[in-house]
Amino acid sequence: MQFFIDSAHVADIQAAHDMGLVDGVTTNPTLIKKAGQDHKQTIQAISAIVDGPISVETLGTTADAIYKEAQEYVTWGTNIVIKVVMNAEGLKAVRLLANDGIPTNVTLVFSPLQALLAAKANATYVSPFLGRLDDVGYNGMELIQHIRTIYTNYNYSTRILAASIRHPVHVLEAARIGADVATVPADILKKLFHHPLTDAGIATFMADAKAWSSR
Ligand code: G3P
């Protein structure tokens, strides 16, 4: 399973990269706002750290506008993925970009049928939003399972990018189902290292070592 960092915060991305855990990065307008820096400079700074795919979200509302915007974004780094919202114009743009060999990520996906349409448009990635579905009383993980089944049935190459991840169990379950990628916020990535029995075991070993090392 690949790990992308769901962040536009350059210091967080650098720290995760130093741990060897960054296969790529996903950004969106909200994450850019949170990072508080210029959009282009932020993406360029991320691109200087990360070799893997970096998703940059388009804002255009027509296929032509999205396509034009994409031509600019691909100049911002070496491995830019064009993020496109899930709707008819968005998927039109995905087809145009796919014909040019430009990778895409269809975002704000909340149903298996939307994911099927994204695969038929030849999207590189599809981003089902787990946490936001859970928030409104649906089962986000069930969506990942349905998409996995559909993509396997028809051998679609579109990669499932589990997004809107809120806690470690989302990462665990997405991995069990076979999502290709989890895009993980930096604070959740850090939590993956921990287990209370590991912490307790370390404390005991350190205390025991102190006892014999001072003999
Ligand atoms: O990549 C975008 C997605 O992960 C958003 O997450 O927490 O805003 O639902 P969230």
Active-site position among 34, 40, 68, 83: 83
Residue-wise pLDDT for 166-178, tens only, equals 999 999 999 999 9
Residue 183 in contact with ligand 1 by CB distance below 6 A: yes
Average pLDDT, the chain: 97
Residue 57 in contact with ligand 1 by CB distance below 6 A: no
User: How many angstroms is it from 166 CA to the middle of ligand 1?
Assistant: 9
CB 44 within 8 A of CB 76: yes
CB 97 within 8 A of CB 63: no
What are the phi and psi torsion angles at 8 (to 5°)? -120, 15
34 classed as catalytic: no
> Strand 181-184 to strand 2-6: parallel, antiparallel, or no bridges (unpaired)?
parallel
User: How many angstroms is it from 204 CA to the middle of ligand 1?
Assistant: 39
pLDDT (0 to 100) of residue 128: 98
pLDDT (0 to 100) of residue 181: 98
Residue 132 in contact with ligand 1 by CB distance below 6 A: yes
Beta bridge partners of 107: 85
CB 125 within 8 A of CB 106: yes
Atom of ligand 1 nearest to the CA of 135: 9
Residue-wise pLDDT for 19-30, tens only, equals 999 999 999 999
Residue-wise pLDDT for 179-197, tens only, equals 999 999 999 999 999 999 9
Whether 95 has a pLDDT exceeding 90, the answer reads yes
pLDDT (0 to 100) of residue 24: 98
DSSP per position, 85-154 = ESSHHHHHHHHHHHHTT--EEEEEE-SHHHHHHHHHTT-SEEEEBHHHHHHTTS-HHHHHHHHHHHHHHH
Residue-wise pLDDT for 71-91, tens only, equals 999 999 999 999 999 999 999
Residue 182 in contact with ligand 1 by CB distance below 6 A: no
pLDDT (0 to 100) of residue 214: 76
Q: How far apart, in whole angstroms, are the C-alpha atoms of residue 110 and residue 133?
A: 7
CB 49 within 8 A of CB 17: yes
pLDDT > 70 in the chain, percent = 100
CB 88 within 8 A of CB 112: no
The mean pLDDT of 3-8, rounded to a whole number, is 98
Residue 6 in contact with ligand 1 by CB distance below 6 A: yes
Indicate which residue's Cα is closest to atom 6 of ligand 1: 164
Q: Label residues 41-59 b or e (16+ Cβ within 10 Å = b).
A: ebbebbbeebebbbbbbbe
